[in-house]
Structure 1
Amino acid sequence: MFTKNLVLGGAAMLLAALGLPVQAQDDHDPMEPRWSFAIHGGAGTIKRENMNAEQEAEYLAALDQALEAGTDILKNGGSAMDAVVAAILLLEDDPKFNAGRGAVFTWEGENELDAAIMDGRDRSAGAVTGVKSIKNPILLAREVMKDGRHVFLSGAGAEEFAGERGLETASPDWFATEARREALERLKARQLSAIDVDHKFGTVGAVALDLEGNVAAGTSTGGLTGKRWGRIGDVPVLGAGTYADNRDCAVSATGQGEYFIRAAVGHSICQTLKYRWRKMLDDAQASVPKDADGNPTFIVHASEMWLEEADIQAAADAAMADVKDLGGTGGVIVVSPFGPAVFSFNTAGMYRARATSAGVKEVAIYGSE
C-alpha cells in the first residue's frame, strides 16, 4: 500500500513523463475532499440591450440566492442531492423562471410541468412529466426516486402518486402569470414558434459534488410555450437533459429539448469524460518502468489521475457543438468528481451561477461574461 506522499510522487512522475501538467487543477490536493455546485435558469437570446438594470438585478439576486442555498449545504458536509433540491425549490417558486410558478402555457392554456433528479451514487433516478397541480415537481421526482419501483411517471398517474406521498398541491392560479399567458396569445395570433415568443428557455437546474465524492443532478421546466399533443422535452429524459454518475459527472441541460434528446447530451458528456480519464490512467500505467521480468514496478491507482477543468469544459463544449450541428440551441452545467463546475452554451446568454471549494464564485447572465 502506498502512502499518500508516495502516491502523489508517483503521479507527478507519471504526469511529467506523459507531458501533462504535474500540478492538479486549482493547486488542489486530489486526496483532499472538495465540493462544487452549479445552477442554471435557462439559456437563449438574452442580451444586455433587452434588459433594464432592475430586471438584471432581480435575476442576479435570484440566482445568487439559489446558489447560496446549495453551497451552504455542501460547505457543511451535506449531500449533493440535498443541495440540488434546495436550489431548484427556490427557482421553481420564482415566477421569473419557466419551472413551477411562472411555467409557460400549453396550446390549450394549461401549465404542464416536467422534472427529473438523479443520484450519482447508484444512478437511482426519478422523473415526472405532464403534471399540473404539484407545487414543486422536483420534490415529486425525488419521491419517485426514493420509492424505487418506477423511474418515470406521467400525468394523472404521477399526480395520484404525489397524493399518496403527501406532496403539496397548488391551483392553476399559482402557476399562471400574465407574461406567460400573453406569450401564448402572441404565439397563436401571429403564428409564431415558441422560440420566437420566448427568446429563451427558462428551464432551471442544478448539479453538485459533495465532500463524500457523490454527484447529483436535477432539472425542472414548464416546457415550450404552445406545446401540443403531450409533448415531452429533454428535462425528464435521463441521459438527455438530466444525468448523474459518480464515475464521470452530473449534467443538467436547458434548450430545445428535441435536439438534446437526439444527442443524448447528458450521457454523452459523462461518457466522454469516462473515456478521457480511462485513457489517461491506461497511458500512465503503460509508462511505468518495468522490472527485469517485464512486469510494472508499481500499479497506478485511480486516485493518482484526475482531469483538469479544461477537460471537463472540452467535453461540455463538444456536446453543445453536436446540438448546434443538429440545429439546436441551449446550454449545460456540469460538475465531476474531479472538482470543477463548468458551463457551456451556444446562445447569447444563460442565467447561471457556480461555486467551488477552491474559491470560485460566479453569477452571470450574458455570454460575454
Structure 2
Amino acid sequence: MVRPALILHGGAGARRERNYDQEVVHMRQVVEAMQARLVAGASALDVAVETVVMLEDSGLYVAGRGASPNLDGEYELDASLMDGATQKAGAVAALQGFKNPIRAARAVMDHTPHVMLAGQGAARFAARQKLDRVEDPDNWFTRAGKGEDNHPPGTLSHGTVGACVLDTQGRLAAATSTAGVFGKMPGRVGDTPIPAAGTWADGHAAVSCTGQGEYFIRIAAAARTALSVAAGHSLNDAAQATIGLIGQMGGDGGLIALDREGRIADPFNSQGMKRAWLDTDGRIVVRVFNDTPHA
C-alpha cells in the first residue's frame, strides 16, 4: 500500500490586499474530505474529479459557480482530466449551461472515443449525460475573481482550480477547471482543457496549471514538467523550470505537481496562489502566499 497524497489549487493571481480566510477554510475542508476518500481506497482519478467538483461548487474560485462572463456576457467553462495509470484523458471547452465542467470532461473520457468536445457539441453531450444544468445564470454565478485582476485592461488576467492525486495503489491523476481569463473573447480557449498544456498525468507525475493560458499552451507546460521528471529531474526542479520559462516569455501563473513518491511542488510567479495539500505523512497544509502556512 502506498501512502496517499494530494495537492489542490484555487488559482494563481491572489493579491495581498485581499482577505482569503474563507478560501483557506474551504481548501482545508476539501483536503480533509478527500483524505478520508483516499484512506478508504478511492482511486486517484475519482478523487481528482471530486476535489475539483467541490472547488467548482463553492463559488469561491474562478471556475464552476465562481465563473466570470466573457465579453458577450456569457459563461464559457473549460475543464480536463487525465488518468496517469491508463493515459486516458477527457476535456470540454467553451461549455455553456452546466454547473460542473469537470463532470462533463469525465463523461467525455468514459463514454466517448474522443478526448475533447467543445461549444454546442459539448453542451448537447452534457445534456444527454443528464449533468446538472445552470437554470438561472444571473443568480448562480458568483464572479469570484473580482479583486484579483492585477493586470492592466486588455491583458490576460486569470483564475483556475485543479488537483493532483496519488492514491493507495500508486496511481496518479490530475484535473483542472476554469472559466478562463476575465473579459475574454467569446470562443477563447486557454490551456485548461488541453491535455499537455494545462493538465497532465502519467506514471511519473501529475500536473495542473493556472495562469495566463496562452503561455502555458506554447510550451506544453504540464507535460513538459512531467516529462522532465521522467527524464530524471526532481519534481521541484522540473516545476520551477517550467514556471521560469513562462516568466521569461512574459507570462504569469503557477502550477501544482505531485510525483509517484508523493513529493509535492507548487511554484508560481504571481503575487500568490491559493493551494493546499496532504503529504504522505498525513499532514495538511494550506497556503496563499509564500510565507507562514495555515497548518
Report the TM-score, using the length of structure 2 for normalisation: 0.92
Aligned to 2:185: 228
Aligned to 1:211: 168
Deviations 1:296-341 (A, max 9, x none): xxxxxxxxxxxxxxx2111110111111111111011111112112
Aligned to 1:351: 274
Structure 1 Cα separation of the partners of residues 182 and 282 of structure 2: 38
**Sequence identity of aligned pairs in percent?**
39
Q: CA deviation at 1:104?
A: 1.2
Structure 1 Cα separation of the partners of residues 141 and 4 of structure 2: 36
Which of 285, 289, 292 is the matching residue for 1:366?
289
Count of residues paired in the alignment: 289
Give the match's secondary structure for 1:316.
Answer: helix
Aligned to 1:176: 141
Which of 39, 61, 68 is the matching residue for 1:75?
39
- Quickly say closer, same or farther: Cα 1:179–1:57, change in 2 above 3 A: closer
Give unpaired runs (5+ residues) of structure 2.
none
Say whether residues 1:326 and 2:255 are aligned partners.
no
Deviations 1:39-59 (A, max 9, x none): 000112521xx12xxx42211
> Is residue 62–residue 144 contact of structure 2 (8 Å, CA) maintained in 1?
no
> Is residue 115–residue 129 contact of structure 1 (8 Å, CA) maintained in 2?
yes
Which of 259, 263, 267 is the matching residue for 2:223?
267
Aligned to 2:5: 36
> Is residue 103–residue 175 contact of structure 1 (8 Å, CA) maintained in 2?
no
Aligned to 1:162: 126
Give the match's secondary structure for 1:358.
Answer: coil
Aligned to 2:48: 84
Give unpaired runs (5+ residues) of structure 1.
1-31, 278-310
Give the match's secondary structure for 2:98.
Answer: coil
AA aligned opposite 1:239:
A
Instruction: State which structure, 1 or 2, has the greater radius of gyration over its C-alpha atoms.
Output: 1
> Is residue 254–residue 267 contact of structure 2 (8 Å, CA) maintained in 1?
yes
Matches within 5 A, 1:1-369: 33-47=2-16, 50-51=17-18, 55-171=19-135, 172-177=137-142, 192-195=153-156, 201-246=158-203, 248-276=204-232, 311-369=234-292
> Is residue 61–residue 144 contact of structure 2 (8 Å, CA) maintained in 1?
no
Give the match's secondary structure for 1:122.
Answer: coil
Give the match's secondary structure for 1:116.
Answer: strand
> Is residue 35–residue 211 contact of structure 1 (8 Å, CA) maintained in 2?
yes
- Quickly say closer, same or farther: Cα 1:174–1:93, change in 2 above 3 A: farther
Cα root mean square deviation, aligned: 2.0
Q: CA deviation at 1:178?
A: 6.2
Structure 1 Cα separation of the partners of residues 143 and 264 of structure 2: 35
Richer in helix (by share): 1
AA aligned opposite 2:274:
Y
> Is residue 59–residue 144 contact of structure 2 (8 Å, CA) maintained in 1?
no
The answer to which of 232-241 and 63-72 deviates more is 63-72
- Quickly say closer, same or farther: Cα 1:126–1:174, change in 2 above 3 A: farther
Q: CA deviation at 1:359?
A: 3.2
Structure 1 Cα separation of the partners of residues 132 and 291 of structure 2: 40
